[in-house]
Structure 1
Amino acid sequence: MSYAALKMIHVTSVVISYLLFSLRSMWKMQDSAALQQRWVKITPHVVDTILLVSAIALAIRIQQDPVHDSWLSAKVIGLLFYIGLGMTALKFGKTRKGRISAWIAAQLVFLYIVLVAVTKNPAVFFLAA
């Protein structure tokens, strides 16, 4: 598979994953019964699997790894924070305020991950300084 095709799959799955997280978060904040639909429980896992597989394939294709490439390390660490915050926002947050705080923090981490991906610089917020 070509680099362009892999990147398109990866970026598309990033967008879909983010939109699904946002939708599920809104439903969670509203205590919506929509969260109980079968597709809502399954689709995010399928999309996130495609996202992860495409990320690994891209890293292999461009011959970069998180051990030697700091921008990729930053993305992986950011992803772990994003997952933890997402789990807090959707499942483990004890209060509505806590879930909303985790959701907002997840948005900031997502932005960081995207900016690192675009700039290939883990210090992306310090570029203007």
Structure 2
Amino acid sequence: MYLMIKNLHMTLAMLSILGFIIRGPLAIRQHAIMQQKLLRILPHIVDTFLLLAAIYLAWTLSLHPFNSGWILAKVIGLVVYIGLCTLVIKRRGSIMQQWLTYGAAIAVFGYIIAVAISKNPWLVG
């Protein structure tokens, strides 16, 4: 069961970032397709199941942010990522600020993935 949930978690993480990579520029350009109900609801469904899978995995391994620095780093990264994504999707700031925020969100997601792989919040040695 653990391996199945871990694979589900990784798949949902990729779907989440791919969805943002597609929706970000559409939101910045204020494309009409962003008003489609599916594009407004589906990311929340994917992200909810992603979070539930993460909670299950952490619970199964007895990991929590206060006994595992890399889990804490992922949780902080997730909060930052959500904040940046929200700024992009809700079109906050100038076009240039939105593009910079879009890039920052993708970079933070990359950090979260790197921490997950290395199990090291500092990504060194």
Contact 2:77 2:108 in 1 (8 A): yes
Q: Which residue of 2 aligns with 1:56?
A: 55
Determine the C-alpha separation between the residues in 1 that align with 2:37 and 2:28.
Answer: 19
Determine the C-alpha separation between the residues in 2 that align with 1:34 and 1:46.
Answer: 18
Contact 2:28 2:95 in 1 (8 A): yes
Q: Which residue of 1 aligns with 2:79?
A: 80
Contact 2:85 2:105 in 1 (8 A): yes
Q: Which residue of 2 aligns with 1:23?
A: 22
The Cα shift of 1:62 comes to 1.1
Letter in 2 for 1:73: L
Determine the C-alpha separation between the residues in 1 that align with 2:60 and 2:2.
Answer: 7
Letter in 1 for 2:86: M
TM-score (norm 2): 0.96
Larger mean CA deviation between 22-31 and 61-70 belongs to: 22-31
Determine the C-alpha separation between the residues in 2 that align with 1:65 and 1:25.
Answer: 31
Q: Secondary structure at the match of 2:90?
A: helix
Matched, 1:107 2:100: no
CA RMSD of aligned residues (A): 1.0
TM-score (norm 1): 0.93
Moved over 2 A (4+): none
Q: What are the ranges of 5 or more consecutive residues in structure 2 without an aligned counterpart?
A: none
Contact 2:81 2:108 in 1 (8 A): yes
Larger mean CA deviation between 26-35 and 46-55 belongs to: 26-35
The Cα shift of 1:26 comes to 1.6
Contact 2:17 2:106 in 1 (8 A): no
The Cα shift of 1:30 comes to 2.3
Determine the C-alpha separation between the residues in 1 that align with 2:35 and 2:12.
Answer: 22
Q: Which residue of 1 aligns with 2:89?
A: 90
Determine the C-alpha separation between the residues in 2 that align with 1:101 and 1:63.
Answer: 37
Q: What are the ranges of 5 or more consecutive residues in structure 1 without an aligned counterpart?
A: none
Q: How many residues align?
A: 125
Determine the C-alpha separation between the residues in 2 that align with 1:94 and 1:29.
Answer: 10
Determine the C-alpha separation between the residues in 1 that align with 2:79 and 2:56.
Answer: 19
